[in-house]
Amino acid sequence: MQTRTIAGLPVSSIGLGCMNLSSGYGVPPSAEQGKQVLHAALDAGVTLFDTAALYGFGKNETLVGRVLKAHRKDIMVCSKGGMAAVQFPDGLKRVIDGRPEAIRLNCEDSLRRLQMDVIDLYYLHRWDKQVPIEDSVGAMSDLVRAGKVCAIGLSEVSAATLRRAHAVHPIAAVQSEYSLWTRNAEIAVLQACAELGATYVAFSPVGRGFLCGDPIDVAALPGSDLRANMPRFLGDNLAANLRMLVTYKAIAAAASCTPAQLALAWLLQRAPHIVPIPGTTSVQHLLEDLAAADIHLSPETLQQLEATVNQRTVTGSRYAAQSTSEVDTEVF
């Protein structure tokens, strides 16, 4: 597996987003299936594993920790705080809380679930607009000094917020959605990362499965599947995007790769400081994704891709309107 760097350390050029193994896309796989995917990633040379306190309300960190703790010295484990499950009288609910005391508590809980003494890369999962970014990052900086975190990251922030945070403590990585059909990073964040020496970690690099090529039957999705409420997967928006998908799949066939590999290879060729972290519940799909690291797309193919899938040809917004307040301005 080829490598790139985060916080000056080498990591596999394609990492594994672990959320799918516990939540996000309908009924999660069994713990045994999740274990198989994690072991297959290790065997294939993946050294970057991404989880969060929020995923499965802690279940994902527990799975990742149990499976990966024996391989601790060979991998980079990333988690996130500042958005986690909080117990209310009517059940667990997701809460964004960037107060220093909340971040410290999230980190301690994550360390316990992961069964690890230190988290290699710890992200602020979302910026809590009620708390200055400097205060949240300051608390994370305290975690570094305490030896509980090695490096700090941010998720879904604008270039301006990134620069404010970086002035408090070096930001090693920014994790936000980036793919052929979600190009917000190109407004300013990608360039800011390059200037500050931060790696851009791209989640949902295959468009939440859309760029894998198989049409998604939204009507069959359970309500717990994130895509069931995402505008791009609904009604006329989906119909328009499926028409675009036909041309996209033809480009992949001409390039002798699968649609998913096409999306990942495109990302890897965008810039050397980009590391995609596709997620999957299938060992077969995992190996397919990782093979994209060895694919080089010709200038002609890149030109076709740019013309086919871009911010003008994709129909529908990333999230429903009620989610806009959770995302920093430039990255929505």
pLDDT digits (tens, 9 = 90+) for 181-214: 999 999 999 999 999 999 999 999 999 999 998 8
pLDDT tens digits for range 96-128: 999 999 999 999 999 999 999 999 999 999 999
Number of structural domains found in the chain:
1
* Dihedral angle sign, alpha carbons of residues 328, 329, 330, 332: positive
Q: Is residue 233 domain-resident?
A: no
- Most distant CA atoms of the chain, gap in Å: 58
For residue 117, the enclosing domain spans: 3-209+261-295
Q: Is residue 239 domain-resident?
A: no
Helices 100-114 & 59-68 angle (0-180, nearest 10): 40
- Is residue 76 within 8 Å of residue 46, measured between CB atoms? no
Among 139-153, 205-219, 275-289, which stretch is predicted with the lowest mean pLDDT? Answer: 205-219
Q: Is residue 323 domain-resident?
A: no
Q: Is residue 254 domain-resident?
A: no
Q: Is residue 17 domain-resident?
A: yes
Q: Is residue 251 domain-resident?
A: no
Stated pTM of the model: 0.95
Q: Is residue 236 domain-resident?
A: no
State yes or no: is 25 an active-site residue: no
Q: Is 172 left (phi over 0), alpha (psi -120 to 50) or beta?
A: alpha
CA angle 186, 41, 115 (to 5 degrees): 95
pLDDT of residue 90: 87
Q: Is residue 28 domain-resident?
A: yes
Residue closest to 109 by CA, chosen among 51, 50, 61, 152: 61
Tokens of 94: 């997701």
Give residue 330's pLDDT band: very low, low, confident or very high (50, 70, 90): low
pLDDT at 295 over 80: yes
Pairing mode, strands 83-88 and 76-81 = unpaired
**At residue 320, what is the residue type?**
A
Q: Which of 25, 55, 122, 178 is catalytic?
A: 55
Q: 135: domain CATH number?
A: 3.20.20.100
User: In the chain, what are the helix, strand and coil shares in percent, each to the nearest 5?
Assistant: 50, 20, 35
